Structure 1
Amino acid sequence: MRVAPGGGEATVLVTEVDGVPLRFTNGVDIDQVTGEVYFTDSSRNYNRSQHEMVTRTGDSTGRLLRYDPRTGKAVVLQADVTYPNGLAISADRTHLIISSTGPCKLLRYWIKGSKAGTMELFADLPGYPDNVRPDKKGGYWVALHREKAELPFGVDSHLLALRIDADGKIIEEMRGPKGVRPTEVVERKGGRLFMGSVELHYVSVVTRK
């Protein structure tokens, strides 16, 4: 859907791609030069309210898609992806970074260059990633819903987010209470981080030293 800058009723742009209904649309990013919209459909079998089943069953029917506002058409870039979630276009606009939630990985899909149209592993993660957003240095912030081997008891601290550099290396960690499970971490002016979650009724602001 698209909403005008001044707000108002949303316009539905796409409801299906290649004859397959969109059941679990999730991450989205826009090429600021071409206006092309890249987005994920996390599963062909489950909807958002059944998101735990996507991880539990190892569902690999997710899709990476692109919508072209000039033609009004959407196409499948990559099918049969395991729980594709958040995504972000790289600073040089050559590739996308996509979180694969169940496998705890980041994937890279090339949209330009000699590898265009191919997908590869970008980083293994210590937790389940949600949204991916660019930092201010060519890398990315990745929100983690929880750690892989997280226990409900013990020290009340777990990973909330990771900063990944342009080569896929973890260069910064953010920790917090286990009751906080972020779905979004966005960096703004001055290095401040805005952290949100579908499970919380507020947005946290983190000032880094």
Structure 2
Amino acid sequence: MLKKISLLLLILILVGMGYLTLWPVPIAPVAWNAPKNLGYTGDFTPNMKLAGLKTLSIGDHHGPEDVAGRIEDGEMIIYTSTQSGDILRINPRTNQYKVIANTGGVALGLQFAPNGNLIIADAHKGLLSMDDDGKITLLTNKADDGSPILYADEMGIAKDGKIYFSDASTKFGAEVSGSTLAGSLLELMEHGKTGRMLVYDPAFNTTKIVLDNLSFPNGVAMCPDDACFLFTETGTYEVKRHWLKGPQAGSTDIIIDNLPGFPDNLNKGQDGRYWIGLVSPRSEALDNLSAKPFLRKIVQRLPASLRPKAVNYGFIFAIDMNGKVLAQYQDPSGAYPVATGATEPGDGWLYIGSLSARELGRKDLRGETF
């Protein structure tokens, strides 16, 4: 009997080892060296300034990922995207909302274009445009070289109407991966740098590749004079600046590196501020495995509950176009879950996006000094 039990245990061990080392997984991990995490120190010393957020109702919807605002009939009106693809129009004064359109996918980034249309980066559909009547038109879902846009994420719009936007992964599309979160986790675990930055030119209906070989490029915002744009590279914990004009045209520099979390949305605010959300603190396990692709593949074979995952920790901060930190608001409790970024439309409030929240958070900035 003891021999049979021992044999059974040996078989189970061999099967388990075979599974962990040989079972096919969708990722082909690439070795890289994650910088040593300095944590919440220096400019990012912990505080509780994001705790106790006020909220606006979004009804039964969830995941107000991004926000855009403009003045309509003399008052600020807020638009937000949702995980269902619904676009909501919210009056902050009355705390009333209505659904004005549905993209048919997963709406992520929002920004108003010079012509007044709301531009939408939809993770399933590509780059969309919505007019004041809620009619949605496809602008582009592939680059000029024919490659499909699989994970349209965020955008910055220049004064001439050109739209610079991120395609976060050309391998792990949001739709084929099952969700935006699933696609992002696969891209980050592999670190294959399949993301890219594109530019859509409405004057010629072209979509050109500006940058590639990026590790989950995410939030995007234009510099004040459109000479450059800023963007977050989630997989490298960096904020970068790409120059479009002047003596540095065509070059890219890092303005913040070694962030203590995963940078997500990046939105232009008031008075030269740019707001960035750290969607989750960094994963010690993921950093420790950065140079060990074989072990990362083994981790991918583990049940999802045992793999590195996002942790709720609210973190929003503002920088100038050179990367100087101007303000930072934290809530270590993560009461407002998976905060993705913030929008400062000019009404004295900061609107906080989220991957999963069932309301739209906002913080009163009146009286704040930067």
Under a length normalisation based on structure 2, what TM-score does the superposition of the two structures give? 0.52
2:134 is aligned with 1:134: no
| Counterpart for residue 101 of structure 2 | none
Q: Which amino acid aligns with 1:148?
A: R
Q: Any conservation in 1 of the 2:316–2:342 contact (CA below 8 Å)? A: yes
Could you say which structure has the larger radius of gyration? Answer: 2
Report sequence identity in percent.
Answer: 27
2:216 is aligned with 1:83: yes
Of Structure 1 and Structure 2, the greater strand share is in 1
Mark the runs of 5 or more structure 2 residues left unpaired by the alignment.
1-127, 285-310
> How far apart, CA to CA, are the structure 2 residues paired with 1:27 and 1:54?
17
Give matches, 1:42-191, under 5 Å.
Answer: 42-48=168-174, 49=179, 50-124=183-257, 125-148=259-282, 158-176=313-331, 177-179=333-335, 180-191=337-348
| Counterpart for residue 359 of structure 2 | 202
Structure scoring higher RCO (CA < 8 A, sep ≥ 6) equals 2
> How far apart, CA to CA, are the structure 2 residues paired with 1:189 and 1:108?
24
Of Structure 1 and Structure 2, the greater helix share is in 2
Mark the runs of 5 or more structure 1 residues left unpaired by the alignment.
151-155
Match for residue 30 of structure 1 among 147, 151, 157: 157
Q: Which amino acid aligns with 1:61?
A: T
> How far apart, CA to CA, are the structure 1 residues paired with 2:239 and 2:312?
23
> How far apart, CA to CA, are the structure 2 residues paired with 1:21 and 1:74?
11
Q: Which amino acid aligns with 2:280?
A: R
> How far apart, CA to CA, are the structure 1 residues paired with 2:276 and 2:246?
25
| Counterpart for residue 153 of structure 1 | none
**Cα offset for 1:190?**
4.6
The aligned length equals 203
2:6 is aligned with 1:6: no
Given the superposition, is the C-alpha separation of residues 157 and 145 from structure 1 closer, same or farther in structure 2, using an over 3 Å criterion?
Answer: closer
